[in-house]
Structure 1
Amino acid sequence: MFGPVPGMGSKRMAKTVNFHAGLPGFVSSGHVHAVLGGSPTSVEREVATLEGRGVLRRLRVRGRGEVLIRQDEYEGLVRRSSRLDEDTKGLYLRFLKENPRAGIMSVGTCDEKQGDALVRAGFLTGGTTTRDENASLGGFYGRPEDKASLASIAAASRAASGSIEAVGGVGALQNAGGRGGSSGASRLGRGGVGPEPEYRIAAPGHGSYLKLVSAAVEHLMSLLSRSKYGEMPEYLLRERWDGGIASDDARKMRRARGEFTGVLPWQTKKWREFYGLEFGWVLAEAMGTGRLEVFETGSVGRGVRKLRDD
């Protein structure tokens, strides 16, 4: 995900290294589809299988989409957290083990003090409701079940056959304006007043990851938009992403001759704002969201073409 850290000032290097170390091993669902290729249905089915076995954990953020993380790494984050006491850790780990597919946790699962501690530690987001969650999830990174429109039918085929997601997700009919036969417990909270508040499962650094990747994709699209027709050779786009820095071999040869041109690597936007995020990672992320495609030019290698802007 990140390239080797180049020479830079001690403060900047410490900030970069700490950012790398503090970011868990997240990967977006779109990125997985772009890297693995093949049938979206088969990829999603495999992800759903691993999720059911407790190998992967799916995390979601309102309006920003979802990411995947290995379950053992996520549990390790919980165990190493200094903000949680042992009782809270044990309760939360038991819930994760018993509910490998769960994306939400009822407020009644833990007491108020434990819930507050998990929120402050970054493992839960503040109390919300299913109706509020469905209304606010969306945007480019939203999943098909969060959008009640025909535009999401093609994307819905990525869900594993037989899963709730394959038919639009929980409450799909209600979200579209209909009246489904959902149980009173799901519609009414304690006392029958309204939807019961719920916590959404998250992870420390989840928001930072989505913010970083979203900004990186926007920057990559802006570089591609500078081309008259919205397309260019992949090597040229890579060079622009790297800030026009020459390749390692060329830089070594110039340095051996005592020559220097251009800017230092750590002065580029790639390192100043994106902490060394690699071009290949951002390209796969943009491909996974459907904003660009890679094609063979037949003359200058692979090319990159913009499909649409958000």
Structure 2
Amino acid sequence: MPKAAKFPFPIRKTASSRSVEARKSQPLFSKPAIHSDRLPDPGLTPPVLDPDAPQHLPSLIKYILQNTFDDVPDRSAGMGSERISEILRFRDGLPPIVSLAHVFALSQSATQTEREMARLVAAGTVRKIVIPGRGKSGGLVGEGLVLVDDWIARVKGAAGLTHETGEKYIALLHAKRGEFSTTTSSFTTDEVRELVTHGFLTSPTSLSSSSQPSSLLAPKSAASSLATAGSTFTTGTLAAIGGSNAITASGGSGSTLLASARPSNNISYNTMTFSLPNTGAYLKLQTTARAHLHFLLRQISPAHREASNDLLREKWNGNTIAPGDAAANAKKARGESSAVLPGRTKRWREFWGTRYEWVLAEAVGSGGVECFDTGAVGLGVRAR
């Protein structure tokens, strides 16, 4: 047999052959990097979430309200004037409520905060408000705190509310300092209807007939709501059997049930609950933001649902470009950066520019996540 020809020099591979081999060695779809290793947890005491937060309760409430959102960037935000106007209107319309969980998350002494809260509620400086609903992450939304001055300012600034009705309502706030509900015997039927329309009074049965506001999470079907009511609500309550409209939702006539229903604590029909307008919008922002924080933890570490605080903040902010960062903007113009403008991120599209620190405190206070000192990469955040 003839021998194979020997070449005096090695055959040089062409560029096309190298590119073919490179493509064969690479996967078709690149997967995002997943952190499979656990963060070190030596058991050190975690630092305070916000060391700059004041501990005087009225000052702490104002501090939380002022640090809920980031300022809208002046330029290079990726948002038009109409969207910026929409964001500002949404923020102005939110009620001045601070969740009790958020207050305890930032307070350095829960006992001292409890004592000060009881004293200020009795003095008429702070009011407690019942927030109807449950968080999507499993934690109760529970109660909130409102400065009485902010509450009165909302009443006086309500468009369409008559001066006489507003003054009678403010007098009732001062008379019922530590109470959630009040009788409406001092109001006429038109005044009660006016206060309910503006969102300053609500029926107490609405707090127990559903676990979430209708704007947040509507039940998939009447059958599903009836099936889950017994395991969700307290035994013996009207909500445990599907609420006051259970028969109507199932397709039957519920007039008899509604006529015979009476709250368990003998509340009369002219009893209403103090409330603030747009509480549902606040509740939706709170629950969806906490749910998204849990989603980011699962995305970063599916096995352990934990991440460093810096990495979690970067994910929440959406890897944005600061408007004044000339180097980052130059890299983006050359196509060397994967960062996006703030207006294109989920934080601004769905959460109206909510700060990461605000969401983290809400999640920690509600018990959905916990913080720990890694001793190596700073603060760590872990879902419970």
TM-score (norm 1): 0.75
CA–CA distance in 2 between the matches of 1:137 and 1:256?
Answer: 49
Deviation at 1:54, TM superposition (A): 1.3
1:5-24 deviation digits (Å, cap 9, x = unpaired): 12320111110111122223
Aligned-residue offset at 1:248:
7.0
Task: Give the deviation of 1:45 after TM superposition.
Answer: 2.2
C-alpha distance in 2, partners of 1:237/1:267?
18
CA distance in 2 between partners of 1:252 and 1:25 (Å): 37
Quick one: structure 1 residues 133 and 14, their matched pair in 2 at CA, closer, same or farther if it must change by over 3 Å? closer
1:206 paired to 2:315: no
Unpaired segments of 5 or more residues in structure 2? 1-67, 135-141, 213-233, 238-260
Give the 3 Å change call, closer, same or farther, for CA 74–282 of structure 1 in structure 2: same
Distance 2:267 2:199 in 1: 24
Residue aligning to 1:148: none
Which residue is equivalent to 1:99? Answer: 176
The Cα of 1:94 is off from its aligned counterpart by 0.6
- Is residue 2:289 matched to residue 1:216? yes
Match of 2:97 among 3, 20, 26: 26
Report the secondary structure of 2:185's partner residue.
Answer: helix
Partner of 2:155: 78
* Cα displacement (A) at 1:221: 0.7
Distance 1:280 1:248 in 2: 21
The number of equivalent residue pairs is: 254
Deviation at 1:109, TM superposition (A): 3.4
Q: Which residue of 2 aligns with 1:252?
A: 326
* Corresponding residue of 1:128: 204
Contact 2:305–2:383 (CA<8 Å) still a contact in 1?
yes
Ranges of 4+ aligned residues in structure 1 off by more than 3 Å: 132-138, 246-249, 256-260
DSSP 3-state at the match of 1:304: strand
- Report whether the alignment pairs 1:13 with 2:13: no
Give the residue type in structure 1 aligned to 2:123. Answer: R
The 3-state SS of whatever aligns with 1:68 is strand
Q: TM-score of the superposition, structure 2-length normalised? A: 0.61
Question: Superposition pairs for residues 1-310 of structure 1, below 5 Å?
Answer: 1-6=68-73, 7=77, 8-39=79-110, 41-64=111-134, 65-125=142-202, 127-129=203-205, 133=207, 195-197=267-269, 198-226=271-299, 227=301, 228-246=303-321, 251-255=325-329, 259=334, 261=337, 262-307=339-384
Flag the structure with larger Rg.
2
Structure 1 letter corresponding to 2:124: G
CA separation of 1:135 and 1:38: change in aligned 2, threshold 3 A: farther
Query: 2: distance between equivalents of 1:134 and 1:19?
Result: 27
Flag the structure with higher helix content: 1
CA distance in 2, matches of 1:254, 1:86: 54
> Matched residues in 1 for 2:114 and 2:284: separation?
24
Identical aligned pairs, as a percentage?
A: 36
**Root-mean-square deviation over aligned CA pairs:** 2.7
One-letter code aligned to 1:85: T
